[in-house]
Structure 1
Amino acid sequence: MKTVLITGGSGLLGQRVIPLLLAQGVCVRALSRRPGLNTPRLTWIQGDLRDPLAVPQALAGADTLLHLATQPLQPGADLALAQPLLQALPASGIQHAVYMSIAHLERMQSMPYYREKLDIERRFEACGVPLTLQRSTQFHEFVVQVLQRLTLGHLTLIPTGVTLQPVEARAVAHHLAQLTVGEPAGRVRDLAGPDSMPLEHLARQWQLQQGRRPTLLRLPLPIPLFRAWQHQAAVGTAAQAVGRAWSSWLADAAPEDTQLQARGA
């Protein structure tokens, strides 16, 4: 029976992947600073990836690694999380590493977080363990979080020149679960949502879903994230379109996914 060590199991994507892996008969070990409840074939391990002693212990007994842990708001954090794993992998029993990354990284190097992600991709490719690398565009949920941070009362600030093709996290989770139980595949086709549209249109639909009259102010906001997004290439036919479109997802999303509240990204 396959045993998967998953990092970031308590995060947005991890919470969606774990039940899918369990449904396929996989044993899951989830390393997290905020462990959940153990269930049949699911063992939570409380620990920090930055602890070089904790990582080999977490890897022990697993044959597959699914690395999802990420902290986009803390510069340098993703590399600090990945490096102990990368150092421990060659001597571990891991036969397949799966890494979740972001589409268009090469065009978004003006932001340190995206530079880190690309660096980590290359380190995984060079570590000697067979790899599957999955990239996707921004999650619907992350776009909501960005819009929340840009909203003051009923006014939403819109950085000019940003077009996104966001994707449903649950759809990405389904693909990751299949890749994790499969054979190493190298870099696979990027995932994206079915629709590409300016951030202004995404914000307008989000405000309508909130029951408010759309009130938007377009500004050239000099923030690294938005500068990076302005340099994204059009996804076009290179990516595989999966999941629900933005408007459909908004209509069906749980209130906690779309209401204004102070949540981390």
Structure 2
Amino acid sequence: MKSVLVTGGTGLLGRQVIPRLLAEGATVRAIARRPGPQRPGLTWIQGDLHAPETMPRAMEGADTVLHLATQPLKASADLDLAQRLLQSLPASDVRHLVYMSITGLERMQRAPYYREKLEIERLFGASGVPLTVQRSTQFHEFIAQLLQRLTVGPLALVPTGVTLQPVAVQAVAQALVQRTLGDPAGHAQELAGPDTLTLEHLARSWRGRRGGLLRLPLPVPLFRAWQEQAAVGHRAEVVGESWASWLTTTTRERAKAVLT
């Protein structure tokens, strides 16, 4: 039976991964400032990942680490977390390190966050601990949150030249669990959703009849990094439901919540 330490267990992906690991018979330890729901086989380690004592304490008894924690809005935060993790590995029993990463990093180096993620992959690869790197394209939920942030009054600002291939978090979680419980695979097959769509198309379908779109070049590192289909999984395995299917389900669930 594998014992897996999960960082970022209360995040979008972590909430999908933990129950799947438990269903496969693994025991799970998860670090969180605010622990999530209790489940048989799950131990919450309350602590701050940036605190020096948290990681060594959390690794006790774990043979696998699944590193999901990320803080994209805070400069160098992910690199700091990765270095703290690496510092704790020599004194642990960890024999497999699994890292959740992002499709197209080599093509998206205009953004500091993506440069940092690629550096973390390099550091983990040089650690001497058997490694699996699982990359995927952006989750449907992330795209929706992004479009919400780009909405100003009745208008949605749509950066030009952006094409994405959003993927279902559930499908990535299922694949990630199999990678975590399997043998180290180095760089695993990347994952992507079934449709390659412009950000304009994504915005129109997400907004429906709610206001208009304003297309313009936004000089933001993220959007510059996504130019020329850099974020698309050109050789990725296609998994999960489409953006249109996810959007239909999400809209229906929201309507149901309003009625109940």
State yes or no: 1:35 paired with 2:31.
Answer: no
Q: Give the conservation status (yes or no) of the 8 Å contact 1:103–1:190.
A: yes
Where in structure 1 are there 5+ consecutive unaligned residues? Answer: 259-265
Name the CA distance, whole Å, in 2 between partners of 1:125 and 1:10: 26
Q: Give the conservation status (yes or no) of the 8 Å contact 1:90–1:129.
A: no
Q: Which position in structure 1 is the counterpart of 2:236?
A: 239
Q: Match for 2:165: what amino acid? A: Q
TM-score of the superposed pair, with normalisation by structure 2? 0.94
What displacement does 1:72 show? Answer: 0.6
SS in 2 for 1:43: strand
Distance 1:9 1:254, change over 3 A: farther
Q: Which position in structure 2 is the counterpart of 1:219?
A: 216
Q: Which position in structure 1 is the counterpart of 2:246?
A: 249
State yes or no: 1:72 paired with 2:69.
Answer: no
Q: Give the conservation status (yes or no) of the 8 Å contact 1:6–1:65.
A: yes
Q: Give the conservation status (yes or no) of the 8 Å contact 1:204–1:214.
A: no
Of 220, 228, 241, the match for 2:225: 228
Name the CA distance, whole Å, in 1 between partners of 2:137 and 2:64: 24
TM-score of the superposed pair, with normalisation by structure 1? 0.92
Q: Which position in structure 1 is the counterpart of 2:141?
A: 141
Q: How many residues align?
A: 255
Name the CA distance, whole Å, in 1 between partners of 2:45 and 2:252: 30
Name the CA distance, whole Å, in 2 between partners of 1:73 and 1:47: 20
Q: Match for 1:107: what amino acid? A: R
Distance 1:47 1:257, change over 3 A: farther
What displacement does 1:243 show? Answer: 0.5
Name the CA distance, whole Å, in 1 between partners of 2:239 and 2:43: 30
SS in 2 for 1:90: coil
Q: CA RMSD in A?
A: 1.7
Q: Give the conservation status (yes or no) of the 8 Å contact 1:108–1:231.
A: no
Equivalent positions of 1:95-114 (< 5 A) are 95-114=95-114
Equivalent positions of 1:17-36 (< 5 A) are 17-36=17-36
Q: Match for 2:238: what amino acid? A: A
Deviations along 1:176-224, one digit per CA (max 9) or x if unpaired, are: 011111111110111000000110000000012xxx3451000111111
SS in 2 for 1:61: coil
